[in-house]
Amino acid sequence: MTRYLGMSLLLGPLLVVSAWAQNSTLDEIARYRAQLQDGNPAELWEARGEDMWKQKRGPKQVSLEQCDLGKGRGVVKGAYAEMPRYFADADRVMDLETRLLHCMMTVQGFSKTDATRRVFGSGSNRSDFEALAAWITSESKGVVMKVSLNHPKAQRAYELGEKAFYFRGGPHDFSCATCHAEDNKRIRLQDLPNLTQKKGAQLGYTTWPAYRVSQGELRTFQWRLYDCFRQQRFPELEFASELSIALTTFLAYNANGAAFNAPAIKR
């Protein structure tokens, strides 16, 4: 488990060996996170994303300011706190990344292949989606989550997301619920939010996207789902797929009422 190893190496210097009792370890981790909160490298992604939003790009040489994130063309402030949402122009529910893909294709004229060449960045191979999502979500910081299920398609997405959350499969019989449906559970030392309860969903949802210290990358909610499905031993989740939107709708709606608080920083 290199991931756990990585974490203990990172935390090593902070830990007093005689304080290896469980609770104080967790307290140390909380303090570590609080310290990191002072300077979040996510700001680098936010700055790049803001530039990218305003640049004329793609075959049509148009900027994404022509893109409607649900609150009118070019309006970014508070948009993420109401996503996923139903978009009449596409007649479907979209989360942020799916909407961005839609705008890259319809507004800027990118092909789907070109637009999705790099959905998750790695080192110098950077992802446009991660930068754009970092900036756009930062413009909802402090805004209260208010996802609506008024449209039947949004209601349907929520219900599918809920079913998918409990859907067990694969060689390990895992579903999201195996790891995220009870209070106060951990895998190794990592706390697992109970995403079926308001408090857990608010904590787990409103803190993504996040800069991941262990990866040196900013990751979006699409990535969070992608990586949890990997740990679930499922096949590879398709970026901007119906199921990813449904699960995001389920979790985002459950987080309603909480102030959005990302891009955050995580281990």
Partner 1 sequence: MKPVYWALPAVVSVLVAAGCATGPRQMEAVTVEDLKIIKASFRAQGQAGLDRLDQDEAQKHCSNPPTVTIAKELAARIEKANFAAIQYPADGNLMGDWRAGERIAQTGVGMQFSDNPKTPSGGNCYACHQVSKEEISFGTIGPSLYNYGKLRGGASPEMQRYTYGRIYNSQAFTACSNMPRFGHNGILTEEQIKDVTALLLDPNSPVNK
By annotation, the residues acting in catalysis are 228
CB 239 within 8 A of CB 102: no
Q: How far is the C-alpha of 264 from the C-alpha of 186, rounded, in Å?
A: 21
CB 29 within 8 A of CB 43: no
**Segment 123-152, which members bind ligand HEC (CB under 6 A)?**
none
Query: Which part of the chain contacts partner 1 (CB under 8 A), choosing from 51-59, 108-116, 143-151, 242-250?
Result: 242-250
Q: Does 119 bind partner 1 (CB under 8 A)?
A: no
Q: Does 233 bind partner 1 (CB under 8 A)?
A: yes
Query: Which part of the chain contacts ligand HEC (CB under 6 A), choosing from 30-38, 83-91, 149-157, 225-233?
Result: 225-233
Task: Work out the end-to-end distance of the chain between its first and last CA atoms, rounded to an integer number of angstroms.
Answer: 15
Q: Does 25 bind ligand HEC (CB under 6 A)?
A: no
Q: Does 190 bind ligand HEC (CB under 6 A)?
A: yes
Q: Does 197 bind partner 1 (CB under 8 A)?
A: no
Task: Identify what 193 binds: ligand HEC, partner 1, none; CB under 5 to 8 Å per kind.
Answer: ligand HEC
Q: Does 179 bind ligand HEC (CB under 6 A)?
A: yes
Going 219 to 104 to 240 to 71, the CA torsion angle's sign is positive
Q: Does 198 bind ligand HEC (CB under 6 A)?
A: no
Q: Does 247 bind ligand HEC (CB under 6 A)?
A: yes
User: Rounded to the nearest whole angstrom, what is the least distance from the CB of residue 210 to partner 1 in the complex?
Assistant: 20
Task: Identify what 112 binds: partner 1, ligand HEC, none; CB under 5 to 8 Å per kind.
Answer: none
Task: Identify what 249 binds: ligand HEC, partner 1, none; CB under 5 to 8 Å per kind.
Answer: none
Q: How far is the C-alpha of 121 from the C-alpha of 97, rounded, in Å?
A: 14
Helix (H, G, I), strand (E, B) or coil at 94: strand
User: Rounded to the nearest whole angstrom, what is the least distance from the CB of residue 86 to ligand HEC in the complex?
Assistant: 21
Q: Does 207 bind ligand HEC (CB under 6 A)?
A: yes
* Rama region for 94: left / alpha / beta (φ>0; ψ in -120 to 50; rest): beta
Q: Does 203 bind ligand HEC (CB under 6 A)?
A: yes
**Segment 213-232, which members bind partner 1 (CB under 8 A)?**
229-231
* Closest listed residue to residue 88, CA positions, set 162, 154, 155, 139: 154
What tokens were used for 70?
A: 């649900």
User: Rounded to the nearest whole angstrom, what is the least distance from the CB of residue 5 to ligand HEC in the complex?
Assistant: 13
CB 87 within 8 A of CB 94: yes
Helix H or strand E encompassing 191: strand 190-192
**Residue corresponding to tokens 């019989």:** 173
Contact residue for ligand HEC among 14, 187, 189, 259 (CB under 6 A): 187
Contact residue for partner 1 among 170, 214, 216, 259 (CB under 8 A): 170
CB 188 within 8 A of CB 1: yes
* Closer of 59 and 169 to ligand HEC (Cβ): 169
Q: How far is the C-alpha of 236 from the C-alpha of 249, rounded, in Å?
A: 20
